[in-house]
Structure 1
């Protein structure tokens, strides 16, 4: 592969918009094991949150995908492949990125923690309202009042 081709492939996978319009690969081979990636991602994304029992499975999948991505990028960077192989690797890397984006958007929700956070935000808004209503917003010099 020529140097400019290698740079083009690396630039393509490094673009922020690279995953726009790209499908998650149907299946991907990671460390010798074929994974039905699209099915896995859609199965997890169907839910609003990651269930407690699935969290470890999802985290393990994300770690494996990140590791595989690094290995594939490395093959292109180290000029270990032909341009055709590099092009195929770039497509698969962008597919991995798409899958990772989808999995990263899911957050495990701890309902109790979410409720506490909401209550704290409500309390802060109420205190700011009271300070403004009573003229104690911190911006004005309140010394000298009451003469």
Structure 2
């Protein structure tokens, strides 16, 4: 592989948005073990929350995927592979990144509940602001223009 080709591949895998439109590989060998990556990611993402036992499995999978990504990137960096093989490695890395992004978006149930509570509080503050700005009576304080002069 030529130096400029190696640099192109490395730039491609580090590019912001490289995973946009990329597919998660159906199967991938990670740390010597064949994994049905796409079905694993979709199975985990299908659930609203991840049970504690599954959380450990997901964390282990993310760790192994990160390690595999690094090893594949190092093979490109070393330049001891053909351009075609480097292209295959780069495509696999982008697929791994896509899977990692999907798995990283999953959080424990309490974080999801906190987010919902935060959104509800934001909506409530917004509604109070709008009521005051529009001059409607504020239900909590009993003040406001709508109740005056009657």
Do the structures match in fold with TM over 0.5?
yes
1:22 match: 22
SS of 1:13's equivalent?
A: helix
1:85 match: 85
1:48 match: 48
Q: Matched residue pairs, number?
A: 129
The CA deviation at 1:114 is 3.0
Q: Deviations over 1:57-115 (max 9, x none)?
A: 0000000000000000000001121101000000000000000000001101227x839
C-alpha distance in structure 1 between counterparts of 2:53 and 2:39, whole Å:
18
1:100-139 paired onto structure 2 within 5 Å: 100-110=100-110, 114=114, 118=118
Return 5+ residue gaps in structure 1 as ranges.
Answer: 130-147
TM-score by length of 2: 0.75
TM-score by length of 1: 0.76
1:9 match: 9
Q: CA RMSD of the aligned region, Å?
A: 2.7
Q: Deviations over 1:26-76 (max 9, x none)?
A: 000012110000000000000122222210000000000000000000000
Return 5+ residue gaps in structure 2 as ranges.
Answer: 130-150
SS of 1:34's equivalent?
A: strand
C-alpha distance in structure 2 between counterparts of 1:37 and 1:47, whole Å:
16
